[in-house]
Amino acid sequence: MMCRLTSRAERAQLAMMLEVCAYPKPGNVDRCHDYKDTRFEHFLASTILCRPALEEAERGEGRIGEIIRHAVQQTNCHAGGNTHFGAFILLIPLVYGGDIPGAMKAIAQTDVSDAVAFYRAFALTAVRTYNTDAIDVNDPKALDMLREQEMTLLDVMHHSAKNDMVAREWVTGFPLTRRGTDLLLSFGPGRDTIVRMFLTMLATEPDTFIIKKHGREVAERTLKRARHVLDGGLSLEQFDSECIEQGINPGSTADITIASIYLALGEGWTWES
């Protein structure tokens, strides 16, 4: 049967689709769970609508900051709010550069125009918790400050890295993304592998989205509960219920999961089994 190879943009979309479908993912939107204002369909709509930005990244023509802004803009057509801001920060350099070394090369070339575009993308989202420590995005003078200090987008990520595991990926060479991919490859094919990988990540790395929303203590407790599930002492379903009840959603771990699936799909891993 003739079959065209999927493009990098399509692989990124498949990764976004597979991540949100995987279930049960403790605390996050999945096939079996919506949030009141952000539903499963919002994530899938964003997955469909960001295609032009991902194709732009694949062509490698524009600048990364501007492409992130386009992705955010393209996925603003629904009322579900931000769904993939963190995922775009990881996916766009990866699609742009093809793999981690390529992404790091592209990241090293960001300049102040990328930082400005990124802050403009910021302003389009309602991701209040996604504040960088560098410059307050709500400060009308923020863009002037970026320009005065000639901060690149990589500089911005350097400032945010301490409190944000997605920003940290830019600075440190995508180690968590790589680890997630290696987990998928070692666990083998099949969609159920995604939940196991997600849980393993959550059990070893405090989710910075949870830290920003609930504080470090809650993030550490969530990590321990995830480990408890892996140890067989707590059911995945019970852990999921606890997270939902307490409004704990490991959003940054989900972002990294998407990036890991993207790489894994390019390295022979398949969701079909």
46: CB partners within 8 A, 6+ apart: 16, 75, 78, 80, 83, 84
Least Cβ distance, residue 21 to a copy of itself (angstroms) = 6
Site for a copy of itself contains 13 (CB under 8 A): yes
- Of residues 161 through 200, those in contact with a copy of itself by CB under 8 A are 191
Binding flags for a copy of itself, 120-149, as an x/- string (CB under 8 A)? ----x-------------------------
| Rounded Cα gap, residues 127 and 85, in angstroms | 8
Region near a copy of itself per CB under 8 A, out of 32-40, 82-90, 109-117, 206-214: 32-40
Question: How many residues belong to the site for a copy of itself (CB under 8 A)?
Answer: 34
| Rounded Cα gap, residues 73 and 64, in angstroms | 14
Binding flags for a copy of itself, 44-73, as an x/- string (CB under 8 A)? xx-xxx-x---------------------x
Q: How many CB atoms lie within 10 A of CB 53?
A: 26
Helices (H), the chain: 8-21, 40-49, 51-59, 64-74, 85-97, 100-108, 112-124, 142-148, 153-160, 165-172, 175-187, 192-202, 208-214, 216-230, 236-245, 251-266
Q: In the chain, what is the greatest distance between 2 CA atoms, to the nearest angstrom?
A: 57
Least Cβ distance, residue 180 to a copy of itself (angstroms) = 19
Is 100 or 264 the residue whose CB approaches a copy of itself more closely? 264
Binding site for a copy of itself (CB under 8 A): 1-6, 10, 13-14, 17-18, 21, 31-32, 39-41, 44-45, 47-49, 51, 73-74, 76-80, 124, 191, 271-272
